[in-house]
Amino acid sequence: MPENLIEKTKSWVQARLTEAESGHDWWHIQRVYKTAMHLAKSENADETTVALAALLHDLTDTKLTDRAEAIEAEIVAFLQQIGASASLIEQVMYIVRNMSFRHSAHFTGNKTIEFQVVQDADRLDAIGAIGIARAFSYGGFKKRPFLNFETRAEAEAFFGNSNTDASTIGHFYEKLLLLKDMMNTKSARRLAEERHIFMLRWLDEFYREWEGEI
């Protein structure tokens, strides 16, 4: 793996995220990068493609910017400038464009092992203890309530029929609790199982305290 290419990309991405919301900041990128590299080794994926896609994956996220197309062009220009080949850039941008949860419901394209690895790494960072912290960080950023119901029974009955509730706990039901079964690779599925169980236990405690049980 060309370390100079990776280090230049790390510095470039970090500089662009100095004021990012904490759920999607440089620390998130670092975690996804480290997890992706671990998965890449386990799944025999191309490490350079995985590294670059993991580092760049959030810059064009429409949750975070209304300049996605312009930023995509900037990414391509940067990769060209630091000497990435045309084929490498094409592979990296294919992953960046298509790996998000929002795209996954309708995506029918080819999911290379590199695509699968980066997508799994990003999804793993959305569950478990870090996933919970990120959910509440982003919920606070968007001024969302913790929960819009008085009891767990009310909440779960509502979520059973609709996933449109704009609360942080609602996000568990519309996304976070689904991710375990959406992992692509065996390596990620093992990690996801542990983090999923942690979230279920955490929700039990949250509802106990929410309902005022002593």
Predicted confidence (pLDDT) per residue in 167-205, tens digit: 999 889 889 999 999 999 999 999 999 999 999 999 999
pTM for the full predicted model: 0.92
- Is the CB of residue 121 less than 8 Å from the CB of residue 54? yes
H/E stretch holding 104 reads: helix 101-104
Predicted local confidence at residue 214, as pLDDT: 66
Asked whether residue 204 is domain-assigned, the answer is yes
The reply to whether 145 and 96 lie within a common domain is no
Query: Measured at the alpha carbon of residue 28, what is the angle toward residues 24 and 32, in degrees to the nearest 5?
Result: 125
Asked whether residue 113 is domain-assigned, the answer is no
The reply to whether 6 and 90 lie within a common domain is yes
CA–CA dist 113, 9 (Å, integer): 22
The reply to whether 93 and 9 lie within a common domain is yes
The reply to whether 98 and 143 lie within a common domain is no
Asked whether residue 109 is domain-assigned, the answer is no
The reply to whether 18 and 68 lie within a common domain is yes
Predicted confidence (pLDDT) per residue in 76-110, tens digit: 999 999 999 999 999 999 999 999 887 776 788 89
The reply to whether 7 and 96 lie within a common domain is yes
Instruction: Assess whether pLDDT exceeds 60 at residue 162.
Output: no
The reply to whether 17 and 55 lie within a common domain is yes
Asked whether residue 110 is domain-assigned, the answer is no
**For the chain, what is the domain count?**
2
Predicted local confidence at residue 163, as pLDDT: 54
Residue 133 lies in domain: 126-214
Specify the CATH number for the domain of residue 63: 1.10.472.50
Asked whether residue 206 is domain-assigned, the answer is yes
Asked whether residue 185 is domain-assigned, the answer is yes
Q: Which residue among 86, 102, 118 closes a domain? A: 102
Least Cα distance to 152 among 200, 95, 94, 207 occurs for 207
The reply to whether 133 and 75 lie within a common domain is no
The reply to whether 5 and 86 lie within a common domain is yes
Predicted confidence (pLDDT) per residue in 106-136, tens digit: 788 899 999 999 999 999 999 999 999 999 9
Instruction: Assess whether pLDDT exceeds 60 at residue 161.
Output: no
Instruction: Pick the more confident residue, 153 or 1.
Output: 153
Count Cα atoms within 13 angstroms, Cβ side, for 156: 7
Asked whether residue 85 is domain-assigned, the answer is yes
Asked whether residue 116 is domain-assigned, the answer is no
The reply to whether 3 and 92 lie within a common domain is yes
